[in-house]
Structure 1
Amino acid sequence: MTIHQLHGTAVLVCDLDGDPVSGTSDALQLIGDAAAESAGWVAVPVTRWHQDFFRLRTGLAGEVLQKFVQYRVGIAVVGDVSRWVEESSALRDFVRECDRGSQIWFVADLAELGERLAARS
């Protein structure tokens, strides 16, 4: 993991490779890592999310993302989610609603995350 400064916001960026985020304990670990680095956001590549994250009926997305909301740490899912969005209208709606908010975003890359952070400043 590395810290990136994106438009004045410290973002903890997870590596592409590594164990998948597959539960609340993983979320809490990332939140703790972000706090240790004074990061207000965590960026997790699509490749690091357990496949069940993209199947809303499993409850994994809600469970994990609620921890970020609870601790007031922004979370960005970074990468192409079109494969899952095409398979699920519920996920498509979920992504759209998250992207309208200010704490959970689905972005194509770090450049898009930076643009979104800049726009809210």
Structure 2
Amino acid sequence: MGNDQRDHVEVYPFPAEGEPISSEDDAIDLIGSVWSHAAKTAAVPVDRFDPAFFDLSTGLAGAFTQKLVNYRIRLAIVGDLGEYVAESDALRDYVRESNRGDHVWFVRDDEELAKRLDALG
């Protein structure tokens, strides 16, 4: 699968199929994939993440996203988070705060991601 260019922001879309992202080490693999495709943004389907990622008490989401931020890789988690945010006020707050920044976004679909990227100008 190739990468898309949206307003000079290279996006590497991760396939929906594959091993679940379930550890901090998976962030290193993701960074390598993004860099090997000359991208700056990783678009990863919600379904690729182990459900533990969305349980903030595990610390996985924080450690995982911090690695990407350190390497200046934007993470866009694409898909419906409804069932996860319905169960966790903390996650709902994390999603809202993340979406205010430029490093980690939670978007419904590729169209919403494209709009966010276009807004970067």
- With the shorter chain as reference, the TM-score category is over 0.9
Shift of 1:15: 0.7
Partners of 2:25 and 2:70 in 1: CA distance: 14
The amino acid across from 2:59 in the alignment is G
Partners of 1:113 and 1:2 in 2: CA distance: 17
**2:32 paired residue number:** 32
Which digits, 9 at most, give the CA deviation of each residue in 1:44-88, with x for residues without a partner?
Answer: 101100110110001110011011101000000100001110110
Instruction: Check if 1:82 corresponds to 2:72.
Output: no
The amino acid across from 1:109 in the alignment is D
**1:66 paired residue number:** 66
Structure 2 length as normaliser, TM-score?
0.96
Structure 1 length as normaliser, TM-score?
0.96
Instruction: Check if 1:16 corresponds to 2:29.
Output: no
Q: Percent identity?
A: 45
Number of equivalenced pairs: 121
Unaligned runs of 5+ in 2: none
Alignment of 1:41-60 (within 5 A): 41-60=41-60
Which digits, 9 at most, give the CA deviation of each residue in 1:11-44, with x for residues without a partner?
Answer: 1111111101111211111111111111000011
**2:7 paired residue number:** 7
8 Å contact from structure 1 (residues 2, 14) kept in 2:
no
8 Å contact from structure 1 (residues 7, 114) kept in 2:
no
Unaligned runs of 5+ in 1: none
Q: Root-mean-square deviation (CA), in Å?
A: 0.9
Q: What secondary structure does 1:61 align onto?
A: helix
Q: What secondary structure does 2:3 align onto?
A: strand
Q: What secondary structure does 2:42 align onto?
A: strand
Partners of 2:51 and 2:101 in 1: CA distance: 23
8 Å contact from structure 1 (residues 23, 64) kept in 2:
yes
